[in-house]
Amino acid sequence: MRPLVVLAWSVVVMAGCAEKKTAPAAPPPREVEVVSLSPREVRDTGEYLGSLLSRQSVTVLPQVAGYVRRIHARPGQQVAEGAPLVEVDAREETAALDSAQAQLSSSQVNLELSRRTLARTEALHKEGLASAQELEGARAQVEAAQAASRSSAAQVTQRQVQLQFNVVRAPFAGTVGDVLVRVGDFVSASTQLTSVAQADVLEVSVSVPSPRARSMKPDTALEILDAQGKVLLTSSVFFVAPQADPRTQLVEVKAAFRNTVGLRPSELVRARIVYSVRDALQIPALAVVRQSGQPFALVVQEKEGKTVVERRPITLGALGDMAYVVEKGLKEGDLVAVSSMQALRDGMAVKVKATPPTPRAEALTNAPAGSGASVGSRR
């Protein structure tokens, strides 16, 4: 029996040696992708709903009462300054002008007759055939005829001006709005005929929160955006209201721009105000890990001759589409891991892959709901 026990023990020892020889080797360092942090331009912005206003927009009213005889313009038509829009019946004013012109002709004839009478009276007075009283009467008649002629001329001018009011003309070049009257309608001085608006230069009016308005300057940039967020037009703020609306506590801000993209007055648009521009570090959003609400970054660095991962607490700023602004915890030149985030542990050895390009992103601030404030890097 003893030889059998020795043989069995030898088999067990040999099996143990075989297991030691086939034990797996330590895994190689995990390959990770990293980005190198460097300061980038970050814009503190706010996005709001703006209303477009025409710098020249009027409601056209007639200056006389009467029936609409003719409509010269159609809605949406581009008209030049002084172009006729609506014509009001002017037959009464025309008759009054004809009467005034006839009165002027009569007064001019009387004036000419009085002058001739004065000339004859002066000649007779020199020969002693007319008295001084007759000479003074002739002179008085000339003066009275001159006054009557001036009065008649003034009446003609007044009637001519009054007659011009029967044709309502465009006060400036612009686009005609809806025509609210039809031929045959009776209009008075309070009847709205149409409107004329100039869309070449528009203003955008935006209401911003009072705390935001305190930091604004007259040269603050304002951008008009399309539905996809693309910048259509850029201008500078020229007006910041001196007081806030007592109900909403919002402050009105205005900027003017030349309309080169076909916008229309009274249109609502997306407007973005650039409050400030600064340089700051940005970290890709996928490179941030959280534990109990505390954000961390996995920084790859050389330590004791090895490339290891260090979990470093950071303070984040605004969040954008692809990146956070880093306020504290990282510095320029740090290498931050952006791959295999769930598998990495503090102090773990890694191998750095080729560095991909750092994403450029626009970050959004933690703004009140509805304000749309944001911070972003300039593209």
SS3 162: helix
The C-alpha atoms of residue 42 and residue 65 are separated, in whole angstroms, by 62
Average pLDDT along the chain: 82
The C-alpha atoms of residue 230 and residue 315 are separated, in whole angstroms, by 30
* Backbone region of residue 200 per phi and psi (left: phi > 0; alpha: psi in -120 to 50; beta: other values): alpha
Across the range 57-84, mean pLDDT stands at 89
370 pLDDT above the threshold of 60: no
Q: What is the DSSP string of 207-223?
A: EEEHHHHHT--TT-EEE
Torsion of CA 246, 248, 250, 254, to 10 degrees: -90
Quick one: pLDDT at residue 24?
A: 61
The values of phi and psi at residue 262, to 5°, are 80, 25
Q: Which residues does 38 contact at the CB level (< 8 Å), separation at least 6?
A: 281, 332, 333, 358
- CA atoms within 13 A of residue 346's CA, in its CB half-sphere: 6
Quick one: pLDDT at residue 314?
A: 92
Q: 337: buried, middle or exposed (CB in 10 Å: 19+, 13-18, 0-12)?
A: buried
63 pLDDT above the threshold of 90: no
Tell me if 289 sits within 8 A of 295, measured CB to CB.
yes
pLDDT tens digits, one per residue of 264-323? 888 999 999 998 888 888 888 888 998 888 999 999 988 888 888 899 999 998 876 688
153 sits in which H/E element: helix 132-164
CB atoms within 10 A of CB 16: 10
Quick one: pLDDT at residue 262?
A: 85
Residue 350: pLDDT band with limits 50, 70, 90: confident
Residue 233: pLDDT band with limits 50, 70, 90: very high
Tell me if 239 sits within 8 A of 178, measured CB to CB.
no
5 sits in which H/E element: helix 2-21
pLDDT tens digits, one per residue of 245-277? 999 999 999 999 988 888 888 899 999 999 888
Across the range 209-229, mean pLDDT stands at 88
The C-alpha atoms of residue 192 and residue 32 are separated, in whole angstroms, by 72
Longest dimension (CA), the chain: 191
pLDDT tens digits, one per residue of 174-216? 888 889 999 999 998 889 999 888 888 899 999 999 998 988 8
Residue 368: pLDDT band with limits 50, 70, 90: very low
The C-alpha atoms of residue 164 and residue 88 are separated, in whole angstroms, by 10
Q: What is the DSSP string of 89-152?
A: --HHHHHHHHHHHHHHHHHHHHHHHHHHHHHHHHHHHHTTSS-HHHHHHHHHHHHHHHHHHHHH
The C-alpha atoms of residue 38 and residue 17 are separated, in whole angstroms, by 54
Nearest one of 190, 195, 168 to 179, comparing CA atoms? 195
Could you tell me whether strands 350-352 and 30-32 are parallel, antiparallel, or unpaired per DSSP bridges? parallel
130 pLDDT above the threshold of 90: no
Amino acid residing at 379: R
Amino acid residing at 15: A
Tell me if 299 sits within 8 A of 310, measured CB to CB.
yes
CB atoms within 10 A of CB 97: 20
Quick one: pLDDT at residue 379?
A: 35
| Angle, helices 132-164/91-126, rounded to nearest 10 degrees | 160
